[in-house]
């Protein structure tokens, strides 16, 4: 939806430049005018969703949502983690859904990292969540069973759960029908729950295709375009910025001419930042065209830049193979084994230099009130303190990351008053 200059709020120049300094590939920043409210993604369809603990939500339409404390970026946790819950809950796979949990430590901390950090890495997602989610599923099952026992006036021991249906004699109810009663049940002590014997597993270790549904929980949304990424988050009042960077590592801006970039419709601000030149515009396309326009107009200072070509760097790497390395461990006689009879297969593999870390994050800051960081990092709480410092405030109070990661950083400023400067 197009925004006019009278309705589009804008953050201060200082705030724009400070957030750009976080250094992401791109981000959006904006200020919601006084009286405006953020768009609500939930449709007003009368469906209620109730939380049965921090990891499991059940809605009255019989859907079970598992909150993932790890981000989904292709490795399959959006399927693996809900499977653990579904198994202990005795749910049908086709009623399972997932959401990314808010960044909230220690509730969603990675237990493999001591629980003090909420992060995805080191192939730890399933391992550290295994016991935790099994008990979360078992606890939700317990609450549903107790709700059914109260409704039907029977002993909980007489109740069975299978394929998303709770039964006792001639009485039966779906999870959705019992959800409102279950949320009123006091959660059990998770440590006291008896978990399933692995020999009775119906979902874990089984091909999902055998159950008649898609093998991965995230496939359909990614194919049909309904999956939401960080770069899709563009509420009214936000601006988009892209940074023109040096083509050489370590290159700095010597000078630039912003006239061509500023002439692009929609471009609102062009400023030098530590990592290059930032172009801030009303939408992505204007920001991209503005950045394309300014790239030829930047003169770079390469005094401290890496001037070697990729081929030269790889050649230097090859030369290091002839230098004896440090011996970390010696076991057996590898040299003799390699020099013995048999065929030797040798191959060189070269990979481009890039960081494994991703820098996709969203920050929503409420002026004079609460601050919320919506984060799409592998370490979901990693940007809280630096983002707060850049924005001139303390760490956001309850960050979340409810979209798939993408290389974009968003700062949205909501306030009780209009932003004072158009920057």
339 in a structural domain: no
* Spatial contact of 239 and 29, defined as CB atoms under 8 Å apart: yes
Asked whether residue 212 falls in the same domain as residue 240, the answer is no
- The string of DSSP letters for 130-197 reads HHHHHHHHHHHHHHHHHHHHHHHT--GGG-EEETTEEEETTEEEEHHHHHHHHTTSPPP-GGGPPPPP
Helices (H) and strands (E) in the chain, counts: 10, 16
Would you state the pLDDT for residue 344?
80
Burial (CB count within 10 angstroms: exposed 0-12, middle 13-18, buried 19+), residue 336: exposed
Q: Which helix (H) or strand (E) holds 215?
A: none
| Predicted pLDDT at 286 | 95
Q: What is the pLDDT of residues 130-162, one digit of tens each?
A: 999 999 999 999 999 999 999 999 999 999 999
CATH of the domain at 138: 3.30.365.10
Q: How many domains does the chain have?
A: 2
Residues 151 and 207 in one domain: yes
Same domain assignment for residues 206 and 283: no
Tens of pLDDT, residues 85-126:
999 999 999 999 999 888 788 899 999 999 988 888 889 999
Mean pLDDT value across the chain: 77
| 169 is a domain residue | yes
Euclidean distance between CA atoms 203 and 333, whole angstroms: 45
Q: Are residues 201 and 64 in the same domain?
A: yes
Last residue of some domain: 224, 249, 277?
Answer: 224
Same structural domain for residues 34 and 129?
A: no
Look at residue 354 in the predicted model and tell me its pLDDT. 65
Mean pLDDT confidence for 355-380:
44
Reduce the DSSP state of residue 26 to 3 states and report it: strand
Whether 76 and 156 share a structural domain: yes
**Is the same domain home to 151 and 65?**
yes
248 shares a domain with 134:
no
Is there a contact between 96 and 64 (Cβ–Cβ < 8 Å)?
A: yes
In a domain, 324, yes or no: no
Tokens of 420: 């004072």
Band of residue 40 on the pLDDT scale cut at 50, 70, 90: very low
Average pLDDT over residues 180-191: 92
Count Cα neighbours of 380 within 13 Å in the Cβ-side half-sphere.
32
Domain shared by 77 and 157, yes or no: yes
User: What pLDDT is recorded for position 35?
Assistant: 32
Tell me whether residue 267 is in a domain: yes
Nearest-angstrom CA–CA distance, 420 and 287: 23
Q: Give the angle 51-53-56 at the CA atoms, nearest 5°.
A: 65
Q: Which residues contact 105 (CB under 8 A, 6 or more apart)?
A: 115, 116, 117, 118, 381
Residue 182 maps to a domain? yes
Write down the pTM of the prediction.
Answer: 0.69
Secondary structure (DSSP) of 224-248: HT---BGGG---TTEEEEEEE--SS
Domain end residue (candidates: 224, 244, 260): 224
Cβ(268)–Cβ(10) below 8 Å? yes
For residues 137 and 204, membership in a common domain is answered with: yes
Within this chain, do residues 54 and 190 fall inside the same structural domain, yes or no?
A: yes
Residue 1 lies in a domain: no
* CA distance linking residue 50 with residue 43, whole number of Å: 16
384: CATH: 3.90.1170.50
Lowest mean pLDDT among 72-76, 174-178, 250-254: 72-76
Residue 53 exposed, middle or buried by CB count within 10 Å (0-12, 13-18, 19+): middle
Which among 200, 224, 248 is the end of a domain? 224
My answer on whether 191 and 96 are in the same domain is yes
Q: Does the bond joining 51 to the residue before it have cis omega, within 30 degrees of 0?
A: no
Is residue 316 situated within a structural domain?
Answer: no
pLDDT category, 270, cuts 50, 70, 90? very high
Q: Domain span at residue 166? A: 49-224
The answer to whether residue 329 is domain-embedded is: no
Surface-to-core class of residue 316, CB atoms within 10 Å of its CB (0-12 exposed, 13-18 middle, 19+ buried)? exposed
Distance from C-alpha of 140 to C-alpha of 91, rounded to nearest angstrom: 11
């Amino acid at each position: 939806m197009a925004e006019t200059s009278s309705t589009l709020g804008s953050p201060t120049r200082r705030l724009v430049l400070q957030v750009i300094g976080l250094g992401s590939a791109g981000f959006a920043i904006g200020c919601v005018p006084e009286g405006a409210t953020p768009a609500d993604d939930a449709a007003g369809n009368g469906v209620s969703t109730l939380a049965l603990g921090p990891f499991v939500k059940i809605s009255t339409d019989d859907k079970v949502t598992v909150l993932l404390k790890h981000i989904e970026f292709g490795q399959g946790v959006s399927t693996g983690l809900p499977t653990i819950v579904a198994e202990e809950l005795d749910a049908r796979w086709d009623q399972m859904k997932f959401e990314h949990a808010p960044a909230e430590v220690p509730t969603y901390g990675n237990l493999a990292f001591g629980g003090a950090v909420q992060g995805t890495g080191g192939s730890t997602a399933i391992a550290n969540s295994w016991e935790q989610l099994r008990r979360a599923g078992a606890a939700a099952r317990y609450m549903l069973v107790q709700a059914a026992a109260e409704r039907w006036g029977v002993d909980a021991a007489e109740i069975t759960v299978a394929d998303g249906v709770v039964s006792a004699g001639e009485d039966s109810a779906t999870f959705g029908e019992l959800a409102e009663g279950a949320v009123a049940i006091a959660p059990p002590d998770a440590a006291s729950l008896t978990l399933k014997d692995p020999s009775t597993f119906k979902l874990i270790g089984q091909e999902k295709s055998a159950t008649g549904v898609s093998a991965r929980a995230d496939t359909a949304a990614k194919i049909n375009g309904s999956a939401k990424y960080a770069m899709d988050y563009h509420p009214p009042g936000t601006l988009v910025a892209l940074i023109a960077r040096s083509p050489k590592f370590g290159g700095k801006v010597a000078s630039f001419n912003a006239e061509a970039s500023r002439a692009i419709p929609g471009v609102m601000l062009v400023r030098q930042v530590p990592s290059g030149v930032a172009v801030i515009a009303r939408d992505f396309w204007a920001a991209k065209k503005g950045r394309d326009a300014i790239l030829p107009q930047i003169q770079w200072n390469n005094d401290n830049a890496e001037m070697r070509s990729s081929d030269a760097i790889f050649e230097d790497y090859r030369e290091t193979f002839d230098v004896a390395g440090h011996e970390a461990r010696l076991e057996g006689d590898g040299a003799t084994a390699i020099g013995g009879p048999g065929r030797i297969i040798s191959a060189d593999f070269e990979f481009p230099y890039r960081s494994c870390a991703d820098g996709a994050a969203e920050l929503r800051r409420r002026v004079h009130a609460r601050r919320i960081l919506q984060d799409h990092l592998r370490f979901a709480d990693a940007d809280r303190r630096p983002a707060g410092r850049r924005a001139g405030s303390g760490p956001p109070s309850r960050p979340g990351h409810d979209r798939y990661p993408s290389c974009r950083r968003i700062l949205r400023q909501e306030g009780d008053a209009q932003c004072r400067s158009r920057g």
